Structure 1
Amino acid sequence: MRVLFRVDASDVMGGGHWLRCLVLAEEVLLQGGEVQWCYVSTAPALLQRLQYLDIPSSQLVAERASAEDAQQTRDLAEQWGADWLIVDGYHFSADYRAQLRSLNYRLMVVDDLNDSGPMQADAVLNTTLYASELVYQPASLDVLAGADFVLLSRSYTQTHHIPFQQRTHLFVNFGASDAAGLTLPALELLAASGINFPVMVVTGPAMQQHEQVAQLCQRHGFEHRHDVPSLYPVLNQCRLALTAAGSTLHELACLGVPSIFMVVADNQLRSAQAHQQHGWCRWFDGRSAGGLDDAVGMVKPWWEGVELDQRSERARQLIDGLGAGRVVQYLRSKVQ
């Protein structure tokens, strides 16, 4: 099976789309398939992730999500003999997707909101808790919906998990690029709050201020890591997280790490609300004044609270970590 991914990343849109598709691409490879990648924009560190997995990539010479972009993507898929083209990004419109349709391959769209018109695809993947509430068109579309299809690497199911009672750190991260610029002010607020437990700060591969973060962490005695290949070894040590409500949310839930989320983009809001209803996390609005102060103010009370282990158990019940394998099994079933 041959799968071509069409994904972008940037300082503004972040790297979440890229990283979750990379998990799916790795699972395709592990199940004996072939993968290629095409993009218009990204960050050098994200390209290095492709090179590490020996995934060939092509940079398109076109305006992002334009008709020329669609034509180049379709040509690449047809010339390579792709069985599937997988597209992930909020900037890809219904018209763009319609231009990608072909009799030579099948098209899957990775989506969260169903707010961009008809999918114009063969299948849609939506891993949010509320996915089953969305009505996708056309009716003939295959919909892989819900937490059973969350894209996580195999380490989340094949590696020993540290018992929650033995975890020691607060995890701090605001996405692959920290487009909202929350890391530095969050760390200053944490330092001023008088916490007395270890803090692990992770800056993502597209985070441009990571050297400033490293200096601040050294000054306050926080641990810092930049562009880690996998978050699993870090999260496995953490008993609480202060983080953006992006795709890392699923990794935290799977490992049972109670979390205080900052919603930094409109597409994160509904997912954060849905997860908060399950009682393992709390979200704050990172787009409004005072949101970060309120979130940091909750860190110490939650850390010291008697309910933290119960929140961990509620989180673990939501996501089993086998979603990527299920998605690849579906893809294979349609080309055999």
Structure 2
Amino acid sequence: MSNAMSESRTIAFRTDASLAIGSGHVMRCLTLAEALKAQGAECQFLCREHPGHLIDLIEARGFRVHRLAASAWPASDSIRSQTPNAKPCHTDPPHAHWLGASWAQDAEACQSLLAALAPDWLVVDHYALDARWEHEVARVVGRIMVVDDLSDRDHQADILLDQNVLNHEGEDRYRVRVNSECKLLLGPNYALLGQEYTFLAQALPERDGHVSRILIFVGGSDPHHLTEQYLKALSAPEFQQLQVDVVIGKNHPNPDSVAEIVSQRDTTRLYSGLPSLAALMVRADLMLGAGGTTNWERMCLGLNSIVVSVARNQDEINRELADQALIHFLGKAESISVDNIQATVRFVLDNSSYNCTQSKAIRKVVDGCGTKRVAQLLMEEANYAIA
């Protein structure tokens, strides 16, 4: 065992970012990769060069990326003929078009790269990939962990992680989607947050519920122009006393429009492409944002939030969190208005006692140690398999 423990482990990641996909899949994989690297693993990525990819960012963080060309390869008949042994999956996933190739073409390209890399684990975080792809690449990797939020397709994996499950119904949905040997890691105990959230949460005092500073961030891209709506809502005279920090991602569709609104509002600062929101979250008293991993980051730091769903996979978890009075949920991005936002901000400003109670409650949901738990599990199982 001691010799196995001293050997380096190799972890591969198959994930993508694009203007359509957004940045969340890549960012949570980067978070896990950094935790694994801290435990001695070598991590490498396989990513397709979609418009809006984040390959340069991944490389800047010190990880090698194997680039999959944006143009499709010819799919080989050999792979298609080998798929009947995979768990049945008769139709393509709803997000299959995000892949930029057929699943078989992608599997063929990845299989050759992974065969040379021979990783102990392959982490797959991609809504376009399912059991057929996983069955194929399993031939050349040690084990597979899938990161998912949708439970809308079958998987063949050793571990499946969904940090957005809050009840037993979520476990039931996945059990019929995975092979019987698959271990399920479900809920915010496995939320993939950066280590800075763990450190800050341990040192952060309780919040008093008063609001004087607001943080706005809706994700790496903002196709619904939600950032502008939030800013317009806070530009009303009754909110002029509030300090506002605005963060936009690399793939924001209209940064000039945001900058123009920011320039017209006093005590408002604009940031772009920050590696982490943790420092701004600590300073803020309220956040206006979207769903996704940012929910767990906010809650870890006790930061109350007004939330809008910007993607279908955010609706269910946002509703569940709202039902438990853990967030203020306005609904889908397509249906909200400046008036909706202003009414909810007004409620928060007028209810500091409620805010204090809510902040205490949300800190109990997320301890910030999920990434460490997942990284340790992958390393321990890799070491056990080799020993």
TM-score by length of 1: 0.93
Identity of aligned residues (%): 28
Considering only CA atoms, is the larger Rg found in Structure 1 or Structure 2? 2
Structure-2 separation of matches of 1:239 and 1:133 = 37
Provide the secondary structure at the position in 2 that maps to 1:124.
strand
Q: CA offsets, 1:276-326, max 9 Å, x none?
A: 133121212234434554134211221231311111111100000000111
1:295-314 matches, cutoff 5 A? 295-305=341-351, 306-314=353-361
Structure-1 separation of matches of 2:12 and 2:226 = 34
> Is 1:215 equivalent to 2:294 in the alignment?
no
2:95 alignment partner in structure 1: none
Give the number of the structure whose residues are more often helix, by fraction.
Answer: 2
Given that residues 17 and 52 in structure 2 are in contact (C-alpha distance below 8 angstroms), is that contact kept between their aligned partners in structure 1? no
2:118 alignment partner in structure 1: 81
Provide the secondary structure at the position in 1 that maps to 2:264.
helix
Distance 1:22 1:230, change over 3 A: same
2:181 equivalent among 130, 140, 150? 140
Q: Which moved more, 1:131-140 or 1:249-258?
A: 131-140
1:320 alignment partner in structure 2: 367
> Is 1:122 equivalent to 2:119 in the alignment?
no
Given that residues 174 and 183 in structure 1 are in contact (C-alpha distance below 8 angstroms), is that contact kept between their aligned partners in structure 2? yes
2:89 alignment partner in structure 1: none
1:158 equivalent among 182, 189, 199? 199
Q: Which moved more, 1:324-333 or 1:132-141?
A: 132-141
Q: Which moved more, 1:322-331 or 1:282-291?
A: 282-291
Given that residues 126 and 145 in structure 1 are in contact (C-alpha distance below 8 angstroms), is that contact kept between their aligned partners in structure 2? yes
Provide the secondary structure at the position in 1 that maps to 2:238.
coil
1:51 alignment partner in structure 2: 59
1:93-242 matches, cutoff 5 A? 93-102=130-139, 104-116=141-153, 118-128=154-164, 129-130=166-167, 131-136=170-175, 137-159=178-200, 160-161=203-204, 163-165=206-208, 168-192=212-236, 194-195=238-239, 196-221=241-266, 222-242=268-288
Distance 1:3 1:248, change over 3 A: same
Q: Using the TM superposition, give the Cα deviation of residue 275 of structure 1 relative to its aligned residue in structure 2, in angstroms.
A: 1.4
AA aligned opposite 1:164: R
AA aligned opposite 2:131: A
Distance 1:186 1:74, change over 3 A: same
| Runs of 5+ consecutive residues of structure 2 not aligned to the other structure | 1-8, 73-99
Distance 1:186 1:86, change over 3 A: same
AA aligned opposite 1:59: R
Structure-1 separation of matches of 2:199 and 2:128 = 35
Provide the secondary structure at the position in 2 that maps to 1:135.
helix
TM-score by length of 2: 0.81
Given that residues 260 and 283 in structure 1 are in contact (C-alpha distance below 8 angstroms), is that contact kept between their aligned partners in structure 2? yes
Provide the secondary structure at the position in 2 that maps to 1:92.
coil
| Runs of 5+ consecutive residues of structure 1 not aligned to the other structure | none
Provide the secondary structure at the position in 2 that maps to 1:335.
helix
Q: Using the TM superposition, give the Cα deviation of residue 132 of structure 1 relative to its aligned residue in structure 2, in angstroms.
A: 3.4
Q: What is the aligned-residue RMSD (CA, Å)?
A: 2.0
Structure-1 separation of matches of 2:207 and 2:189 = 23
Distance 1:4 1:214, change over 3 A: same
